[in-house]
Structures are given as C-alpha cells and as structure tokens.
Amino acid sequence: MLIDTYGRVATDLRVSLTDRCNLRCTYCMPEEGLQWLTKTDLLDDDEIVRLISVAVADLGIEEVRFTGGEPLLRPGLVGIVQRVAALEPRPRMSLTTNGIGLGRTAAALKDAGLDRVNVSLDTLRPDVFKTLTRRNRHHDVLDGLEAARAAGLTPVKVNAVLMPGLNDDEAPDLLAWAVEHDYELRFIEQMPLDAQHGWKRDGMITAGDILASLRTRFALTPEGDDARGSAPAERWLVDGGPARVGVIASVTRPFCRACDRTRLTADGQVRTCLFATEETDLRGALRSGAPDEEIARIWKQAMWGKKAGSGLDDPSFLQPERPMSAIGG
C-alpha cells in the first residue's frame, strides 16, 4: 500500500512513456522544443511493465494512466497496454493524448485492453489551434476523437485549457460541441508547467471565470463531493443531465486532501505530485538488479514523504524545474 503521513492512499498511477511531443503548445514548451531524454535514460518496455507490475501486485495500484509528452509516439505502446492488461489483478487503463495519431491506433489500443482516453483540445477553431500549438493538426485531433468513440474507448473525455486573448470566449461553444458528440468536457486551469516559466497567476482564466461563461448558455447543477470522490474534476450536470462538464481547478481550488495519485516519469523517477520538486530514483534500483520487494520499499518510502499540498495556492509558488512534457500530465 502506498500511504502517506496524512493518511492518503495512492491507487492511481500515472506513467509517462516519453518526454517527446509532436505539438508545441504555448503553455507547455518553447517553439524549438526541449532537450529530449536520451534512449538510455528512458525506461524500456520491459522496465515499464515490471514497475507497473510491482505497483499493481505489491502496492495496491488499481488504475494506470499512460501519459507523455505524447504517449502515442512511444513505438511499443500497444504492446505495453497488452502486457499490463494481462496483470493480475488487472488495473483499469486510460491514456492522455493530444489525439494526433489516435485515428490509426484507437482500435488496436482497444483490442490490447485500453479502457478509455482523455484527448486534449483547446479550441474549435483551426486557426486558434495553430496559434496555440504551433502546428496545423486540428483535423487530426477531431479524427482521433471520432476514432476513439467508434472503438469504444469511452467515456471519451476532452481536456481544454483556456488562454487569455486566444480561446477564452470558447467555453460555451466547446461544451455545446462536446454534448452534441457525446464527449465529456473538462476545463483545466492553466498550470505553471511550461518550460519557459512564462506562467503568471494574474490574468489566468480561473474556474470561476469558466463557470460564469458556461452559465450564460447552460444550467449547471453540481454533482457534489460524494460523486466526485478523489477525482480532480468538480463536475456539473448540464441542463439537468445526463451530459456533464468538469473543471479541474488546481490553482484556485486545490484538491490535494483527496489525492490518490503517484507518478512515474519516463526516466524512471517517482514523483509524489505533479508539482513536486523532488524525485526518487527507481531506474537505478531496477538496473542494479534490485528485487521487486526492494523496489516496492523505495516506492513506499517516497510516497510516505508526500507533502500535504501542491503549494499552488501559495502566491510565492516556485515552478518545478522539469516541464510537463517530461513528467506526465
């Protein structure tokens, strides 16, 4: 069991499969990209599956989310999913992706055992998409979403970040589109995870701003804390349901007290929080021949030291040194 000193138990594992991405979103990384991890620094497929196996069999992990960078860029992704699906007990599996390439891989991922996907899409306007991502791939994301739904990777969740002066007027349009296509939309407050450290608290689009905009067109009924559980998104029924919309307000409404997540970076480091500034090395133990029991002990010790909160509600918050592409969203 992965328990910390505040009594929280981690049952949800986020696994970053690569630091690379085929977009250059302005809130994530600079246009020229980053200094990517070398192949030898990255965990190989066998190492990833072994660490997940330890987490599931020995540490009580019940759900695995594959992230990146962009996880669809990982050549062995389908095989990793298939091997994790064969574990006992079988964890629930999901994938967070930008959707590019999902059109050609959704069916194979479903056949391998993936349960569902989260797809990032911040705008319905191709020109704004190009400005935000520095790539002309809007149509590929839409195709990926349709393929995911057709393959049965449901519920298909769409993650959207609103940026001042770019897409901050699109919240109602995005929700109407999501309801029409049977996607579950979740707005995410912009977080300080950009490599260039350009994030500023002043001027960011907050959960309050998003909800006020949505209520100009929709009636929103809160589901409440009982329905939310440990999920990061607060959810509302849209016009009485069954459609729902969520808001992940990491900055203005932190949800750390109910956190049940642990994170594994693409180079084999345990992170107790997305915003943690410390990491614990599992790759070294793995490659030095440590048995599963020792790896589990190191992981437990790392999670025991998890802090009470992310620190995002502190105006003096210091951004992590590693960008989101390297640690998984």
- Strand, helix or coil at 69? coil
Amino acid at position 177, single letter: W
Q: Annotated binding residue at 38?
A: no
Q: Annotated binding residue at 235?
A: no
Q: Annotated binding residue at 224?
A: no
Alpha-carbon gap, residue 178 to 237, rounded angstroms: 13
Q: Annotated binding residue at 250?
A: no
Alpha-carbon gap, residue 79 to 44, rounded angstroms: 12
Q: Annotated binding residue at 6?
A: no
Q: Annotated binding residue at 216?
A: no
> Which H or E element spans position 80?
helix 77-85
Q: Annotated binding residue at 116?
A: no
- In sequence order, which ranges of 137-280 are alpha helices (DSSP H)? 138-151, 171-181, 207-214, 225-228
Q: Annotated binding residue at 246?
A: no
Determine the longest span between alpha carbons in the chain, in angstroms. Answer: 59
DSSP label of 193: -
Q: Annotated binding residue at 25?
A: yes
- Going from the C-alpha of 169 to that of each of 187, 213, 217, the distances in angstroms are 13, 8, 12
Q: Annotated binding residue at 27?
A: yes
Q: Annotated binding residue at 50?
A: no
Q: Annotated binding residue at 300?
A: no
- Going from the C-alpha of 283 to that of each of 63, 185, 287, the distances in angstroms are 21, 36, 6
Q: Annotated binding residue at 8?
A: no
Q: Annotated binding residue at 273?
A: yes
Q: Annotated binding residue at 21?
A: yes
Q: Which of 306, 187, 208, 302 lies closest to 253, judged by CA?
A: 208
Pairing of strands 269-271, 261-264: antiparallel
Q: Annotated binding residue at 120?
A: yes
Q: Annotated binding residue at 93?
A: no
CA dihedral for 15, 21, 23, 27, sign (positive or negative): positive
- Annotated binding-site ranges for S-adenosyl-L-methionine: 27, 69, 120, 191
Residue numbers in the known binding site are 14, 21, 25, 27-28, 65, 69, 96, 120, 157, 191, 256, 259, 261-263, 273
Residue ranges at the known binding site for [4Fe-4S] cluster: 21, 25, 28, 256, 259, 273
Annotated binding-site residues for GTP read 14, 65, 96, 157, 261-263
